[in-house]
Amino acid sequence: ENVPRLYDLVQVEDDRVRPVFYMALQNTLVANDLDQGSRIAYGAQRYRVVTLKGDIIDTAGTMSGGGNRQVRGKMGTQVRTKTAESADSSMGTQHALEEMQKQADEMQNRINYIQEQQGRLEHEIKLIQNVIQRNETEHKRLTVTIKSHESQLASIKKQVETQRQRMVKCTTDAEEVKKHEQQIEQAQQQVDKRKAAEQEVSKKIDKLQADYEQLRADTVKPVEAKLKKTNSQLEKLAAHVRSMNVALTTAERNIERLESDNTNLKENIQTAENKLRQLNEERKEWQERKEELVEKFKEAEAAINNAKSQSSDVKKEIDELNKQENERNIKRLELDTQLQAAAAKMQEVKSDIPRWRAALKPLKLNKIPGEAEPQAPLKTFTPDELEAENLEDMQYKQTLLEEQLKTKPNLNFIQEFSDKRLVYFERVRVLEDITSKRNEMRDKYEEVRKRRYTEFMEGFNIITRKLKEMYRMITLGGDADLELVDSMDPFAEGVQFTVRPPKKSWKYISNLSGGEKTLSSLALVFALHYYKPSPLYFMDEIDAALDFKNVSIVGHYIKVSLTS
């Protein structure tokens, strides 16, 4: 409907402040009246709309503003502060601002000092008020006590008169007293006579008991000892008989087993004898064949010896020559093999020299962290030193080094170790900082905990003392007390409320009657009010379980507290 944006209607002299207006107004549209604003705001696309009368419709659909009285003049039509000129003149007023800042700091210091003085004076005023309130409470309590004592004085006088009359009636007669004393003396004499007779009877009983013990020691005890000894011997004989029976049974079983073993042995012996006869016959046959073979061996050996004696000299010469030739051939082959191996090794070494030189060039000694002295450079051998070295020893050393180099070390670990070491030192520093902060926080925590305990115990002692005073004042003679379940940690288990009503024993508050609970609770509320006063209390039928006397005492105290 061609309505303008509120932002477009705002005219400013300095364009630098336009983003501020846009941030506040956004795309808010301006409508002539509420009907046009409703059509625009609740259309297909939601808009925030404001009317000329001040009604605002948000994009969420809520409507606000309007009313009979329109609010005007919040946005002026003239420029009050020219930001461009103020920016130019800001440098000139910097010195004035610094002077004003100094004055403000001085004023702030004076204000802080005055506030400290005010706090100290308020604390002193509060202490004085507490003393005055405590004195007034004590004066009221004494007044109530005096009134109660005055009311009790008349009844006490009546009781004294009644007791005096009873005392007069109970005056004793001297003749009756003498008569009773004579009766008591006669009864005492009879008691003494009976005690003497009783002592004589006791002596006779003791004598009879001693005679009985002597007779028993002379006759009965030897017989009992012999009987006990006989019983022990019988038990030993019975045990021996039982062991002999067991041994007899075991021997019979062993005899039966030995008889069966004997039969088996006889059969085995018969079998062995038959086999031994058979082996003797075979041994005789083999003995005869052995003698025949020995005769034939002797004849053959004699023939061989004759043949060997004829050809032994020639054969010895041939064997000697063959032996010498074989030794020469072996030596020649060994020399040829050694020459070929040396030539091949020399050629191999010559071919490996450039490779080893190329491999030695990139090698360098890495600096090991923690060692102050630099490492010695690699040793270079002279030709004389090389000729003095033994090839086999050098090959053995080479083999050992190659075995060691099979697990090739990663030299990058040195740099990695250095990096890790720096990280370690950094983390150690962080840990020390954290540990110091932790210790600081732990000290603060302990300080706060001790302060909490101290303040709690101070308040607890004040409330306990005031509770005793209030309960004694309300009940005219009772007593109450607050006890910590755990005195070392009062915040763990809580507090026990014990009460001793007038002329009764100590009890927990849960074991009291309704009226006693009400009086105890009110005393605690009044004690808490003394420690930390509250401007307003709501009490619902607190006199439901109280009689007229207690209601009067509580009402009088509340009335006096309100007036003070």
pLDDT in tens, 65-79: 665 666 665 566 666
Positive or negative, the Cα torsion across 43, 45, 46, 48? negative
Q: Phi-psi region for residue 65, left (φ > 0), alpha (ψ -120 to 50) or beta?
A: left
Residue type, 83: T
What Cα–Cα distance (Å) separates residue 356 from each residue in 352, 379, 402, 432?
Answer: 6, 15, 14, 51
Query: Burial, 10: exposed, middle or buried (Cβ in 10 Å; 0-12, 13-18, 19+)?
Result: middle
DSSP β-bridge partners for residue 51: 31
Rounded-to-integer distance, Cα 463 and Cα 484, Å: 13
Residue type, 89: S
**Distance of alpha carbon 133 from the chain centroid:** 49
* CATH fold for the domain made of 6-64: Alpha-Beta Plaits (3.30.70)
Eight-state DSSP code of residue 497: E
- CA dihedral of 396, 400, 401, 405, whole degrees rounded to 10: 150
Query: Burial, 523: exposed, middle or buried (Cβ in 10 Å; 0-12, 13-18, 19+)?
Result: buried
Sites in the chain below the pLDDT cut of 70: 65-93, 168-174, 177, 212, 215-217, 219-224, 227, 238, 241, 245, 247, 251, 254, 261-262, 265-266, 268, 300, 303-314, 363-378, 408-409, 411, 564
Looking at residue 446, its pLDDT comes to 93
Rounded-to-integer distance, Cα 365 and Cα 377, Å: 8
Rounded-to-integer distance, Cα 540 and Cα 407, Å: 91
The single residue listed with the structure tokens 């019983």 is 231
Neighbour count for residue 531 (Cβ, 10 Å):
15
**Distance of alpha carbon 31 from the chain centroid:** 69
Neighbour count for residue 478 (Cβ, 10 Å):
20
Rounded-to-integer distance, Cα 252 and Cα 258, Å: 10
Residue type, 295: E
Positive or negative, the Cα torsion across 330, 334, 337, 343? negative
User: Which segments of 140-221 are extended strands (E)?
Assistant: none
Long-range contacts: 525-534, Cβ < 8 Å, 24+?
526/466, 526/470, 526/557, 526/561, 527/463, 527/464, 527/466, 527/467, 527/469, 527/470, 528/463, 529/561, 530/133, 530/134, 530/137, 530/462, 530/463, 530/466, 530/470, 531/459, 531/462, 531/463, 531/466, 532/459
Eight-state DSSP code of residue 513: -
Looking at residue 455, its pLDDT comes to 92
Phi, psi for residue 481 in degrees, rounded to 5: -155, 145
Long-range contacts: 234-238, Cβ < 8 Å, 24+?
none
Q: Which SS3 state, helix, strand or coil, does residue 345 take?
A: helix
Task: Considering the domain delimited by 476-562, tell me its CATH architecture.
Answer: 3-Layer(aba) Sandwich (3.40)
Domain positions in the chain: 6-64, 476-562
* 433-435-439 Cα angle (round to 5): 120
Looking at residue 436, its pLDDT comes to 94
Looking at residue 25, its pLDDT comes to 84
Looking at residue 422, its pLDDT comes to 92
| Adjacency order of strands within the sheet including 507-508 | 479-484, 495-500, 507-508
Answer yes or no: are the C-beta atoms of 12 and 18 closer than 8 Å. Answer: yes
